Amino acid sequence: MVCDRCILIVRQQLTNLGFDVGNIVLGKVTVSPDPEPLKLQEISAALQVLGFELIDKEKDQLIEQIKTQVIELVHYSDLSDVQQSLMNLIAAKLNKDYVYLSRLFSDAEGITIEKYIIQQKVEKVKELLEYGELNLNEIAYKMGYSSSAHLSTQFKAVTGMPPSKYKAQDAGDRTPLDQLNAKL
């Protein structure tokens, strides 16, 4: 789940299946009563119809937690205030070793966490460019880049065009957050 609407849909689906939904945050749901194995299969089927999947393996859960942390940091935080690398921040939030997380993520997703972070940042930059409220220097600062040139270099490496050309074409060529690494 990557947005409030996703949370709402999952909450409604679980309620329709007869569960009391307690805590629900990006990537994690607490329900009562604890579902039996057959009920878990029913939940899984209901969520798959909506484009979600039930994650039950510990390593898969950890990968989803990494993705959730990246999305929360990149899309819902002001990165100009972040004083350390996003990867170190994620490792600290998950209370796991950076090298372990990096290897686990790369093996499962086929890209490094750093590249995933860059993809997310580029999608956020696209969004900010489309809004047109900030200039490129302001976007670079907000997204934690050292300069607009650095942002432009990463943007062009991912999209094949500089931010100015992207903004001028007004194509709205954005990728859903949950499909970013599927393009590679």
Residues 49 and 94 in one domain: no
Residues 84 and 160 in one domain: yes
Q: What is the pLDDT of residues 31-84, one digit of tens each?
A: 888 888 888 888 888 888 888 877 667 788 899 999 999 999 999 888 887 877
Instruction: Answer whether residue 175 is part of any domain.
Output: no
Per-residue confidence (pLDDT) for residue 1, from 0 to 100: 47
Residues 111 and 134 in one domain: yes
Question: How far, in Å, CA of 62 to CA of 70, rounded?
Answer: 12
Instruction: Give buried/exposed letters for 26-56 (b at 16+ CB in 10 A, else e).
Output: bbebebeeebeeeeeeebeebbeeeebeebe
Question: How far, in Å, CA of 115 to CA of 49, rounded?
Answer: 29
Instruction: Answer whether residue 9 is part of any domain.
Output: yes
Instruction: Give the 3-state secondary structure percentages of the chain, helix then strand then coil, rounded to 5.
Output: 65, 5, 30
Q: Does residue 113 have a pLDDT over 90?
A: yes
Q: Which structural domain range is residue 37 located in?
A: 4-54
Q: What is the pLDDT of residues 88-97, one digit of tens each?
A: 899 999 999 9
Residues 27 and 88 in one domain: no
Q: What is the pLDDT of residues 125-163, one digit of tens each?
A: 999 999 889 999 999 999 999 999 999 999 999 999 999
Residues 65 and 89 in one domain: yes
What's the one-letter identity of residue 100? Y
Report the SS3 class of residue 143: coil
Query: 80: domain CATH number?
Result: 1.10.10.60
Per-residue confidence (pLDDT) for residue 184, from 0 to 100: 47
Per-residue confidence (pLDDT) for residue 74, from 0 to 100: 93
Residues 72 and 104 in one domain: yes
Question: How far, in Å, CA of 178 to CA of 87, rounded?
Answer: 19
Ramachandran class of 66: left when φ > 0, alpha when ψ lies in -120 to 50, beta otherwise: alpha
Residues 63 and 14 in one domain: no
Domain count, the chain: 2
Q: How confident is the model at residue 172 (pLDDT cuts 50, 70, 90)?
A: low
